[in-house]
Amino acid sequence: MIDKNSPLPIYHQIVEHIKSLIEKGELKPGDCLPSEREYAESYEISRMTVRQAVNELVSEGHLYRIRGKGTFIAERKIEQKLAGLTSFTEDMCARGMKPSSKLLRFEIVPAHNKLAKQLGIKENGPVYDIVRIRFADNVPMALENTYIPANLVKGLTEEIISQSLYAYIEEKLDLKIKDSDQAIEASVADEKQSKALEIKKGSPILFIQRNTFLTNGATLEVVKSAYRADRYKFLINMKR
């Protein structure tokens, strides 16, 4: 694994070797990594060099530490490219994962002033208030709060939103979704979010707000989501 004559730093060789073992499935999520001492003795290198490699893998999310127990292989993050407007259900199915949801709230409420402006409706106009935990292969990925004008999208039921909401809107109501504006911020989980996502309070999350629009210019939805930062990452291709 280690070529001391290589121009590549030794710590970088260790990083790439461990990544390759993870990719091949030889190291699986939850597996305990050999100790720094074991690596150092096996390859006759310093523990400081091993620690530098492990620290980099931890910072990249490939490994995690438990005090007094060791360093373990982390679950792989779900990657979502920010190149097209798709639903959570469509994203998970495209990755060969089973999407599901737990409905926490489904009701029609009057839109307060700020929300009404975001949705382009009159203040106190009827709005679906939908709160769901979104799962991939039974693992909680996001806590999602969706607001939809009830006069625009009619006939929503709990059964419908348990499937793909976008499919119902486009196929059953014949409304055409055009695009969305999406903002992503780093945040930490509050008590409600930590309980829903099964993470510790104060754990890092990705807070996302998406405003989605129809081809006729109407605002379809405002969605506020808290994604687990340890299981989700977003990718974007940027051209000069």
User: 166-199 pLDDT, tens per residue?
Assistant: 889 999 999 999 999 989 899 999 999 999 999 8
Supply the DSSP string of 182-193, one letter for each residue.
EEEEEEE--HHH
Give the containing element (helix H, strand E) for 127.
strand 126-136
- Cβ–Cβ under 8 Å, residues 222 and 204: no
pLDDT beyond 80 at 16: yes
Q: Which residue has the higher pLDDT, 74 or 123?
A: 123
Give the containing element (helix H, strand E) for 225.
strand 219-228
Nearest C-alpha neighbor of 229 from the set 169, 166, 187, 170: 187
- Cβ–Cβ under 8 Å, residues 212 and 220: yes
Residue matched to tokens 């070797």: 17
Query: Tell me, what's the pLDDT at 175?
Result: 93
CATH topology of domain 78-235: Chorismate lyase (3.40.1410)
- Cβ–Cβ under 8 Å, residues 88 and 134: yes
pLDDT category of residue 203 using cuts at 50, 70 and 90: confident
pLDDT single digits (tens) 36-54: 888 888 888 898 998 998 8
CA–CA dist 101, 118 (Å, integer)? 25
pLDDT beyond 70 at 78: no
Structure tokens at 215: 């081809």
pLDDT category of residue 86 using cuts at 50, 70 and 90: low
Query: Tell me, what's the pLDDT at 6?
Result: 83
CA–CA dist 163, 168 (Å, integer)? 8
Sketch the domain layout of the chain as residue ranges.
Answer: 10-73, 78-235
CA–CA dist 126, 149 (Å, integer)? 6
Query: Tell me, what's the pLDDT at 92?
Result: 73
Over the chain, what is the mean pLDDT?
87
Query: Tell me, what's the pLDDT at 147?
Result: 97
DSSP classification of residue 68: T
The class that CATH gives domain 10-73 is mainly alpha
pTM above 0.85, yes or no: no
